[in-house]
Structure 1
Amino acid sequence: MIMTPVSVRYIVDDVAASIDFYVKHLGFAIERDARPAFCSVTHGDLRLLLSGPESSGARAMPDGRRPVPRGWNRILLVVPDLKQEVARLKGAGLAFCNDIINGVGGSQTLLEDPSGNVIELFQPAAH
């Protein structure tokens, strides 16, 4: 079964700061705002669930482990001009994990949101 939009949950430290980051810098739109605990934002067929410390998505597991921000799983956003997009975002003071790297499929770099979650910006190789 394929469902559209596809939903991804990111655990975040601060829902308001995350909303500002995704809407202002990456062009997401607010779908449901339940601050301070939660907000869902959308970008095309992607629904990103921003779950703060007060949200049900951040509750402890039965063994005591807690979902926390960060990690290497990530959403990937395709951009038409990676160098231009990186320059724009660096000009806004945003943090990157690495420089642009080139591979057989295209070029990519990793951007961090305010909680340290990773977003891959990807420009496909020309065919």
Structure 2
Amino acid sequence: MTTPDQFAVVRYLVDDVSAAVAFYTTHLGFTLRLDAAPAFADVVRGPLRLLLSGPASSGARATLPGTPAGRNRIHLVVDDLDTEISRLRDAGLSFHSDVVSGPGGRQILLPDPAGNLVELFEPAHTPAATPPARA
């Protein structure tokens, strides 16, 4: 069981570990913990530990060739989605989708250099609840 002082860990298979490290640390605020390129790197952002596994890593070798990627993605909450989109476009990045709005907020999908998806999500701003009146 994970305790509050531990990370939630996700593994992404990538074609180029160095390119993935640059993407996550330069554009999305991750910090490099371990760089064992070209096989593997470990980056963190808050409680998320992202393992970036290149073709030579044990994580990649455990996956059968031709296994299709799912629609899974990491979900990063942002304060201002439009500002983030502008910042990333100015850095030369392109998105996998347009902005999608729903009852919970707005989101857009950003592919990393290997095509893994990152969801940038701005929660809907809900009005503050009015406390019940006291009798």
Give the equivalent residue in structure 1 for 2:2.
Answer: 2
* Counterpart residue number, 2:130: none
SS in 2 for 1:30: strand
Aligned to 1:88: 87
Gaps of 5+ in 2: 127-135
Deviation at 1:71, TM superposition (A): 3.3
What SS class does the counterpart of residue 27 from structure 1 fall into? Answer: coil
Unaligned stretches of 5+ residues in structure 1:
none
Q: TM-score if structure 1 supplies the norm length?
A: 0.92
Name the % identity: 56
1:22–1:28 CA contact under 8 A, matched in 2:
yes
TM-superposition CA deviations, 1:25-83 (whole Å, max 9, x none): 0010001111110000000000000000010001145xxx2376853111000000001
Could you say which residue in structure 1 is the equivalent of 2:24? Answer: 22
Is residue 7–residue 48 contact of structure 1 (8 Å, CA) maintained in 2?
Answer: yes
Aligned residue pairs, count? 124
| RMSD after superposition | 1.6
47-56 or 65-74: bigger deviation: 65-74
TM-score, structure 2 as length reference: 0.86
Larger radius of gyration: 2
- Matched position secondary structure for 1:2: coil
